Structure 1
Amino acid sequence: MNTVDYLRISLIDRCNFRCQYCMPEEAELNYILQQERLTDEELVILIKEVFIPVGFTRFRLTGGEPLLRPGVVDLVSKIAALPQTQDLSMTTNGFLLAGMAQQLHDAGLRRVNISLDSLNAETFDAIIGNRGRSQWGKVWDGIQVAYKVGFDPLKLNVVVIPGVNDSEVLELAALTIDKQWHVRFIEFMPIGNDRLFNEQGWISSEQLRTQISNKYGLTTAFVSGNGPADVFKIPDAQGTLGFISQMSECFCDRCNRMRLSADGWLRPCLLNESNQIDLKTALRSGVELDKLRSLVSDLLALKPEINYKARVSGTTGAYNRTMSQIGG
């Protein structure tokens, strides 16, 4: 069992995209109100006084789309300034990144993961649910600016959906040859759009690796980060290829993370809502910080058992939120 020292923090449950694999067009989402979200002050208190003391030192800011949160640059600065923060990163769809990348880097953010599910503007817009002017160009600009600013490693996340973008796997993999970009292929999973998953199915990481290896060859590699990806590279490429195999390979025994939702629920597992703590209500009710630390420590102690049950049963429990609401 890995040391659990990595916290994914959802800053907001809203997103300016409506990706097929995250929140399908027909879904009705009940967004939380602003007053229901943890404030910047509450987040910093929890990180500084609760999470860091029990062993968390690495943090990733997620959403929804985290760049939609007002004052996100100031919040990044406050978290990065904590002396115990060893790593601070962000996952974003990249749409607003071009105009914010330098500010975020100056504030202390050093790593970003950007969703890029297609290099074809029409396919990209279909995936994100866009019916107006193409949004692909703004995301591509965000990637270019982030690379120029110096985010390192810069990772591009690709959810592979059969019949939608699987024909682009080789082209996406080739992005790593001439630039120090790190493309991560993620197996499509049934969170947010069971209908599409049941209709389209999914492609395993092994199949993708075989396809890429047959074209370019692959060797094992390494890239810094906190995730479960198996990392390879095309020989002599500047960047790497990561494969996240949550459908085909159980990696619960390697899990080193917990997740904090935008409204303050701490959960030990992406798909498990049966073991979670409402830290926001406790904090606002005046529960002492040492008691909150004890609650988090108790949940940490349960995580090996939760992971074991997941490995044995092949499932992690019931879940009612979409990926955008969980924070990935």
Structure 2
Amino acid sequence: MPAIDYLRISLIDRCNFQCQYCMPEGADLQYLPQAEWLTRAELRQLLQEVFMPLGFSNFRLTGGEPLVRSEVVDIVRDIATLPGVTDLALTTNAFLLSGLAQNLWDAGLRRLNISLDSLDPAIFDRIVGGRGKSRWPQVWEGIQAAHRVGFSPLKLNVVVIPGVNDHEVLDLAALTLDRTWHVRFIEFMPIGNDSLFEQKGWVDSATLRDRIRQRWGLNAGTVRGNGPADVFQIPGAKGTVGFISQMSECFCDRCNRMRLSADGWLRPCLLNETGQLDLKTALRQGISTAEIKHQVAMLLAEKPEINYKMRQSGTSGAYQRTMSQIGG
């Protein structure tokens, strides 16, 4: 069991996209009022007085779409300047990134994961729920802006959906040939999107690796991150390709992360809410951070057992909350 030192922090539960696999059309989404979000000060206090003393040093900002939150640059600066932070990253759909990339860099952010599920604007807009003017060009410009500013490694996340974008796997992998980009192929999961999953199914990572291997060959990669990706490299490529295989290759035994939702709920697992803690309410009721830290420490002690149970049960069930509500 690895050390649990990685916290994924959802800054907001809403998004400017409505991706098929994240917020299916017709989903009855109840967004949190802003007063229910952890404030900037509360978040900094929790990190400084609870999580970092318990050994957390790696943080990722997620959503919803974190760039929708107006304070995102200030929050990045708050975390980046905390003594002891060894890694700070942010996951985004890049729609607002072109105007924020330099400010995020100046605030101390160095790593980005960007969702890019298609290189075809029509397919992309169908996946993200676009209407009217295509959103793809603005996303692509956001990726280019991040590259110009200097974000490295720049990671592109691709959720592979059969019959939708799986035919683009080679084109997306080719982005790594002459760019120091890292493309991550993610197995499609049934999280709040039961009808789409039942209709489309999923493609396992081994099949995707074979497609790439047959085209170019594939070597073991040397770039590792805090996440669960198995990393490979096309011979001679500047970047890497990775595979996140939560459906076919359960990695619960390697999980080193906890998740903090926008409204302050701490959860030990993406798919299991056993032992979740309401840290925001505890703070606002005046409970000391020493006591909150004690409660979090007890939950951390339970995580190996939670991971074991998830590994035994597998991750192929259907889940009613959408990915945007979970926090990614």
Instruction: Specify if TM > 0.5.
Output: yes
The equivalent residue for 1:206 is: 206
Q: CA deviation at 1:315?
A: 4.2
* AA in 2 matched with 1:23: M
Q: Where does residue 30 of structure 2 map in the other structure?
A: 30
Tell me, which stretches of 5 or more residues in structure 1 are unaligned? none
The aligned residue for residue 169 of structure 2 is 169
Q: Which amino acid aligns with 2:310?
A: A
Contact 1:269 1:316 in 2 (8 A): no
**Structure 1 runs of 4+ with >6 Å offset:** none
Report the Cα distance in structure 2 between the residues aligned to 1:125 and 1:112, rounded to whole angstroms: 22
Over aligned residues, Cα RMSD in angstroms? 1.1
Counterpart secondary structure, 2:75: helix
Distance 2:313 2:219 in 1: 33
Counterpart code for 1:47: L
Residue number in structure 1 paired with 2:188: 188
1:256 CA drift (Å): 0.5
User: Which amino acid in the other structure matches residue 111 of structure 2?
Assistant: R
Shift of 1:274: 2.7
Aligned amino acid, residue 193 of structure 2 = N
For 1:264 and 1:223, the matched residues in 2 are separated by 32
Give the structure 2 partner of residue 97 of structure 1: 97
User: Structure 1 residues 222, 192: closer, same or farther in 2, change over 3 A?
Assistant: farther
- In the alignment, structure 1 residue 197 sits paired with structure 2 residue 203: no
Q: How far has the Cα of 1:123 moved from its partner?
A: 0.1
Check if 1:321 corresponds to 2:321: yes
Taking the aligned partners of 1:269 and 1:316, their CA distance within structure 2 comes to: 15
- Percentage of identical aligned residues: 69
Shift, 1:223, TM fit? 1.8
Question: What residue number does 2:242 align with?
Answer: 242
In the alignment, the residues of structure 2 paired with residue 236 and residue 41 of structure 1 have an alpha-carbon distance, to the nearest angstrom, of: 46
Give the deviation of 1:321 after TM superposition: 2.4
Q: Distance in 2 between matches of 1:254 and 1:222?
A: 18
Flag structure 2 segments of 5+ consecutive residues without an equivalent.
none
* Partner SS, residue 310 of structure 2: helix
Q: How many angstroms apart in 1 are the aligned matches of 2:241 and 2:58?
A: 22
Question: Which residue type is aligned with residue 285 of structure 2?
Answer: S
**1-structure distance, mates of 2:170, 2:125:** 20
In the alignment, which residue of structure 1 is the partner of 2:137?
137
Using the TM superposition, give the Cα deviation of residue 290 of structure 1 relative to its aligned residue in structure 2, in angstroms.
Answer: 0.7
Matching residue of 1:81: 81
Change (3 A) 1:73 1:264: same
Change (3 A) 1:320 1:264: farther
Q: Per-residue deviation at 1:327? A: 1.1
Quote how far apart the aligned CAs of 1:320 are.
4.3
How far does residue 192 in structure 1 lie from its aligned partner after superposition?
A: 2.4
- Quote the residue 1:272 is aligned against: 272
**Whole-angstrom CA distance in 2 between matches of 1:263 and 1:12:** 8
2:304 and 2:133 map into 1 onto residues whose CA distance is: 47
Aligned twin of 2:147 = 147
In the other structure, the counterpart of 1:215 is 215
- Matched length: 328
Whether the 8 Å contact between 1:77 and 1:108 is mirrored in structure 2 is: yes
Question: How does 1:248-327 map onto structure 2 within 5 Å?
Answer: 248-315=248-315, 320-327=320-327
The residue that corresponds to 1:60 in the other structure is: 60
Report the Cα offset of residue 84 of structure 1: 1.0
1:135-183 deviation line (CA, Å, top 9, x unaligned): 0000000001101111111000000000000010000000000000000
Does the 8 Å contact 1:259/1:266 carry over to 2?
yes
CA distance in 2, matches of 1:309, 1:208: 28
Tell me how far apart the structure 2 counterparts of residues 319 and 39 of structure 1 sit (CA, whole Å).
29
